[in-house]
Structures are given as structure tokens and as C-alpha cells.
Amino acid sequence: MTTRIKDFEPGDVRPGDTVVVFGAGDVAQLARHALEAIGVPVSFLCDPLLADDSAALHGTPVLPPAALEQLDPETTCVLDAWDHTRYARQPALLARFDRLFVVVSLLSRTEFGEAAPVLPAERPRRIAHYAALCEPLLTGAGRLRLRSLDVVVTEACTMRCVDCSNLMQYYAHPRHSDLDELHAALHRLLAAVDGVEEFRVLGGEPFANPRAGQVVRTLTGLADTARVVVYTNGTIVPRGDLLESLADPRMLVKITDYGDLSRRHDALCDTLTDHGVAWVSQKPVWTDSGRIGRVDRTSEELARTFRDCCVNDLLTLLNGRLYLCPFSANAMNLGAVPDAADDVIDLRRDWPTDELRARIEALYHRHRPLTACSFCRGRDHTTPMVEPAIQVRRPLPLTVVSGTR
Ligand code: SF4
Ligand code: SF4
């Protein structure tokens, strides 16, 4: 289907067409703004995360993907502005439509003013990231360029949030990652794929590992690295080599502002600014996605849980192994969910490059739920919201589950 996708030009929409923007995140909001700026009204946003019967975003209705089945394929234009361009996982829904577009050129030539959505500092990054992800859709080349890779530098965190979706609340004896193992695994992975668009350095709390700067330098030192983003909870101000490693034009520090719990937030912002490090600080919004336990679902519901999950392609490198999502990574790393051979790739092994590439491609483009999905509450629009960062004093008891879907 990728050959049918075109880069949108204004003449592609005819009067009376229904224009659907697929997605409702930052790129979709920028796309809607850019379309309306050239006089193309957006009829609907379509997003599995936000849609319900009454959902609307800034006045535009938000439909679930299933609603696409009701639209006339002759008069509908679908503009993919999903930040992850993940609709490769929704082929049955989109196969009906002949006019499928991405909005790469439109976004690149739009002047976004003050009133436009998305933080101004975030816009160029989002647009560039989206353009890079769309390139293989448009050209068919570089098929295995990964959207992002989570590089876990520690299992330790300075907070213990009861609903941490990375499952830090279950670690009784957290360890920092073995950096030799991490670097070896990373280089094996990079030799087998067509690049990684964005590296995300995280933990736990990545600044808890004083050697995390070595990983940051490795990532920013790669020839085709576009971005490296470090995620921190605002409790530690990095010093020395770790701080210096962050002063790279491709670096961004993303601070989650948990209010009083982020006790070094302001000092961290000041230090990063003083050292010329780019940063953004955002308040969190959480779904109830941080507990391990079997969830009763039909096989159809399980398939939908995986399909609509917003992190179902968030590849995660943890302790030398590659997983498709952070929940799966940490649940398996904790030993809570049984190892399933096709859910994980052991990068501590010296694979022939072709075989490793094939395995990564199969994992990354996978359509079937992971074993972990059966024990995960999911991350989509049906997942209830929870109050972020409620702290617990002790690690949560770990129930080792067995059996699969
Ligand atoms: S959600 Fe809480 S426990 Fe999890 S990594 Fe962030 S600060 Fe740490
Ligand atoms: S285990 Fe499945 S449902 Fe849970 S976060 Fe991962 S991909 Fe999503």
C-alpha cells in the first residue's frame, strides 16, 4: 500500500470532499492548522486514542478508526498526520481509500504563528521527525528506519510511582545498565537497520546513572542521529561529564514536571539553560497502564488492544535485549511475564546481520499482540486516566504470570 501514498498538494482536494486527518497528536494539530490556513476545512480527526462518541479537539470531531468504514471512498481524502505514521498497522481500514496523503511539504512550508498549536520549541522537531518517518512511505526506500529507540540506562528511579507505565514500581533491586553490554547491543542493532530517527534515553531516572553521559555521547556521536531525547523527572541536576554530554545541538532534555515531587525542577532548568542545553518541561497526563496482571479479553479485544496501543512500536533496548514496547520490556526483564521467543531479540548474541534484520523487521512490523498484552491494561482511548505520580514506599509485589493468550 505504500506506493499509493502521496505527499499532499492543495489541488488534491476537490470541493465537497470529506477531509480526514488521521491522528490527533501534535502533527495532526499542526496539519489541521496548515490545511485550514490554505482554505481546506478538516471534516474529522480520526484517532483511536481520543475518539469516543462526543470527542472533539478544538471544535473538530474526533472519530475512531472504525468510523472510516462509513465514509464514501470516492469523496474522502485521508491525510495521515499520525505522529508515528503507524497506519501501516491499519491497512484494512485504509485500503478502501484511493486518496491517501502525508503532509510533509505542507508542514514544511507553513508559517506557524503564535496562535498555532504545539509549543513553538517543539514544532520543528515534530515536523522534521514526521518528514523522516514519511520518507519510506513515499519512496519505499529505507524501510527499516526505526521511528525511535528507547535506550534504558538504569532500572533505578528517584521516585516510585504506583502507576509507572515503565513498571519501575516493581523493581526491588534495580540496577544500572551494563554499558559495555548496552553499547555492543546498540551497535549490533544499528548494523542491521537503516537508522534510528530518535533515541530516547530513559530509566527509571536516567540521571541516577552517573555514567549515562557515555551513552548520550555515543548516541549523539552517530553519524546520522537526528535527535537524542533524555527523559527526566526533575529530581536530579546532572553535573560533570553527564551535564557536558547534554550540550549537543541534537540533544533535548524533556522534564516531566511532577510539581513538588520534581524537587530540583527549577535548578535543573537553570543549569540546563546556563550550559546551552535545550529542554522542555511538561506536566504529565497518565492512563492506567502501569499494572501487571491478566486482563480478561476476547481474542478480538486483545487484538484491538494491541492495534490501538499508542506505544506498540516503541522499541526498547533493555539489558541487551530488544522489545517492542516498554511494558513488554520491563515485564519480561522483571521475570513477571514469560519469555516468548518472537517477542524479544537477544542482542547479546552475535547474529548474522541479515537474520537480525529480518527478526527486527518482523518485530517492528508485527500485527499480532505480544504475550505481555494479555497482562497489560493497554494504552489507548479506552484506558482510564489516573492521577500521575502517586508514590508508594515499597516496591509492589510481583506476581509471576504464566500461560499466554
Ligand atoms: S513514572 Fe515515576 S517511577 Fe516511573 S520513571 Fe517516571 S518518575 Fe520514575
Ligand atoms: S504490552 Fe501490548 S498493550 Fe501493553 S503497552 Fe505493550 S503493546 Fe501496548
Q: For residue 150, which amino acid is it?
A: D
**Which whole number is the average pLDDT over 218-224?**
92
Q: Are 18 and 77 in contact (CB under 8 A)?
A: yes
For the CA of 231, the nearest ligand: 1
Q: Is residue 403 part of a domain?
A: no
- Of 44-48, 149-153, 185-189, 291-295, which gets the smallest average pLDDT? 44-48
How far does the centroid of ligand 1 lie from the alpha carbon of residue 194, in Å?
A: 31
For the CA of 174, the nearest ligand: 1
Show which of 139, 168, 191 is a domain's final residue. Answer: 139
Q: Is residue 71 part of a domain?
A: yes
Q: What pLDDT sits at residue 402? A: 59
Q: Which position has the grid cell 469523496?
A: 75
Q: Domain containing 197 — which CATH number?
A: 3.20.20
> 161: burial class by Cβ within 10 Å (0-12, 13-18, 19+)?
buried
Q: Is 302 in the pocket of ligand 2 (CB under 6 A)?
A: no
Same domain, 123 and 183: no
Q: Domain containing 121 — which CATH number?
A: 3.40.50.20
196 SS3 class? strand
Tally of structural domains, the chain: 2
* Position 206 pLDDT exceeds 90: yes
Q: Which position has the grid cell 548496552?
A: 182
Same domain, 173 and 30: no
pLDDT band for 89, please (50, 70, 90 cuts): low
Cell of 45: 480527526
**398 or 268: whose pLDDT is higher?**
268
H helices within 73-232, ranges in order?
Answer: 91-94, 104-109, 123-139, 179-192, 212-220
Q: Which of 167, 291, 306, 342 to mutate to test the pocket of ligand 2 (most atoms within 8 A of CB)?
A: 306
pLDDT band for 3, please (50, 70, 90 cuts): very low
Q: Residue 213: what are its φ and ψ, rounded to 5°?
A: -60, -30
Q: Is residue 212 part of a domain?
A: yes
**Which whole number is the average pLDDT over 134-156?**
86
Same domain, 168 and 80: no
By residue range, what is the domain housing residue 286? 146-386
* Position 331 pLDDT exceeds 50: yes
pLDDT band for 293, please (50, 70, 90 cuts): very high
Give the C-alpha separation, 49 to 42, whole Å. 19
How far does the centroid of ligand 1 lie from the alpha carbon of residue 207, in Å?
A: 12
Q: What pLDDT sits at residue 86? A: 58
Same domain, 113 and 201: no
To the nearest whole number, what is the mean pLDDT of the chain?
90
Same domain, 380 and 247: yes
How far does the centroid of ligand 1 lie from the alpha carbon of residue 162, in Å?
A: 9
Q: Is residue 400 part of a domain?
A: no
Q: pTM of the predicted model, to two decimals?
A: 0.81
Q: Is residue 160 part of a domain?
A: yes
Q: What pLDDT sits at residue 83? A: 67
CB atoms within 10 A of CB 19: 21
* Position 140 pLDDT exceeds 90: no
**20: nearest Cα among 97, 84, 86:** 97
* Position 40 pLDDT exceeds 90: yes
Q: Is 309 in the pocket of ligand 2 (CB under 6 A)?
A: yes
Cell of 347: 542482542
**Per-position b or e across 202-237, b if 16+ CB within 10 A of its CB:** bbbbbbbbeebbbbbbbbbebeebebbbbbbbbbbb
**164 or 114: whose pLDDT is higher?**
164
Q: Is residue 396 part of a domain?
A: no
Of how many residues is the chain composed?
405
Same domain, 293 and 343: yes
Q: Are 156 and 209 in contact (CB under 8 A)?
A: yes
For the CA of 405, the nearest ligand: 2
**Which whole number is the average pLDDT over 11-24?**
90
Q: Which of 143-152, 231-240, 379-388 has the largest mean confidence? A: 231-240
Q: Is residue 179 part of a domain?
A: yes
* Position 297 pLDDT exceeds 80: yes
Give the C-alpha separation, 46 to 86, whole Å. 13
Q: HSE (CB half, 13 Å, CA atoms) of 319?
A: 14
* Position 365 pLDDT exceeds 70: yes
Give the C-alpha separation, 133 to 111, whole Å. 21
pLDDT, tens digit (0-9, with 9 covering 90-100), for 56-70 = 777 888 888 778 888
Element (H, E) at 327: helix 326-333
Q: Is 328 in the pocket of ligand 2 (CB under 6 A)?
A: yes
How far does the centroid of ligand 2 lie from the alpha carbon of residue 200, in Å?
A: 18
Same domain, 100 and 202: no
Same domain, 27 and 47: yes
Cell of 201: 534515553
Q: What pLDDT sits at residue 170? A: 97
Virtual torsion, Cα 377, 378, 382, 383, nearest 10 deg: 60
Same domain, 73 and 182: no
* Position 94 pLDDT exceeds 80: no
Same domain, 63 and 212: no
- Of 137-141, 234-238, 400-404, which gets the smallest average pLDDT? 400-404
Cell of 297: 479479553
* Position 243 pLDDT exceeds 80: yes
- Of 26-30, 46-50, 289-293, which gets the smallest average pLDDT? 46-50
Same domain, 131 and 25: yes
Cis amide leading into 204 (omega within 30): yes
Give the C-alpha separation, 70 to 68, whole Å. 5
Q: What pLDDT sits at residue 210? A: 95
Same domain, 16 and 45: yes
For the chain, percent of residues with pLDDT exceeding 70: 93
Q: Is 325 in the pocket of ligand 2 (CB under 6 A)?
A: yes
Q: Which position has the grid cell 502517586?
A: 390
Q: What pLDDT sits at residue 91? A: 65
What residues line ligand 1, using a CB cutoff of 6 Å?
Answer: 157, 159-161, 164, 166, 168, 203-205, 233, 389
Q: Which of 36-50, 93-107, 308-322 has the largest mean confidence? A: 308-322
Q: What pLDDT sits at residue 320? A: 98
**Which whole number is the average pLDDT over 270-299?**
95
Q: Which of 158, 159, 209 to mutate to test the pocket of ligand 1 (most atoms within 8 A of CB)?
A: 159
What is the Cα 208 distance to its own chain's centre?
23
Q: Is 27 in the pocket of ligand 2 (CB under 6 A)?
A: no
Q: Are 62 and 44 in contact (CB under 8 A)?
A: yes
Q: Is residue 42 part of a domain?
A: yes
Give the C-alpha separation, 25 to 191, whole Å. 32
